[in-house]
Structure 1
């Protein structure tokens, strides 16, 4: 039997954006439905149960973050990629705290959007809470409490700087995904922080020291030469 197409709900009030994106996503093998406001998005998810939602933040009637909070409050685990026009780290952190599986800042490259959607789908299991929506996640004997920003390796609590804790949070919720330094810089430091990519390397080095992780034979954080980093361990939600 042929594999059914992945059903994607695209939610944006800008018709020019949806008219451009929907055919591109269709050519990539997605079965695309389009709505233009938050109330219609909620109705569509409840009725059709799509495999993934690409959701703009700025929507009429009910905004995207309110849609996301409602879906999570209803126990719906559909993966959601949030589109935002705001570059501040605090806004992105709130989006992830609301239960977004990932976000993409406008304007964006179509190829980047497709790559993010596929990465979100690889991490998701239908009917199970996403890593991004879990309060705690575990990888072997590494436990990360995402609410309190605390982590333990076995019985030992890890002492991390705030940036290293935020970096660990993003890494463990995006396992086996190649994360470029620019992406990590954007997520953890934000556009409002004029730091270079070496800041990412310094915080990765901090994580490795605390985790006793050998960069030559990494258990947790792998360096992808010339590109960025990848979290190697299998990760699952934890009680």
Structure 2
């Protein structure tokens, strides 16, 4: 069994064939997936997909590149996190690549999401791009270790990975690790402890080799896992078993691995 630990199955990209996508995922051995919200107005549809489908889990949060005005109040965020099958906070974090100017509002939003994570005991899903130092600094200052979480779609270096691991976080790898130019990321992937590793698609983005250029979907997490197993000298069965167990340990400990 495999788990796609991060996707956006609620997006309009999947509106016309969502049922078939889920069928293909199950046929590929992907029995569970987590849909991460990116904006507050989509929380209801993410939660509905989780409620209506066995093996689908949800997260509630606001992506760092959404405008400052979209930052939810703590009461609103906590209410969303109390919904059935909402198992995580996010995605959230810092992204200085696509946003400009004074980005303290991003930091304040991230801090609020971490506070909600600690208040609920639900792990936080962290997005970071061109903001490595500030991401780690804020995770430390806000004591993100208290509830833990994952650095999703990881593309940073080993020093960042080691710092995140030291904070009790998991590392999730996407199709990016399969790209020919991702040599540095592949070096990091070899070093990651298997008991802290997750796999994801981030669908509809970042389809892995050999599907690169196509719309990504949860079934393709099989290609990420296969690549990683070969890269790390492990069997696919071993990597699938452990990453699935890691997912359950972090997000849904009430469900047997």
TM bucket (normalised to shorter chain) is 0.3 to 0.5
Report which of the two has the higher share of strand: 1
Report which of the two has the higher share of helix: 2
TM-score w.r.t. the length of structure 1 is 0.35
TM-score w.r.t. the length of structure 2 is 0.33
| Structure label with greater radius of gyration | 1
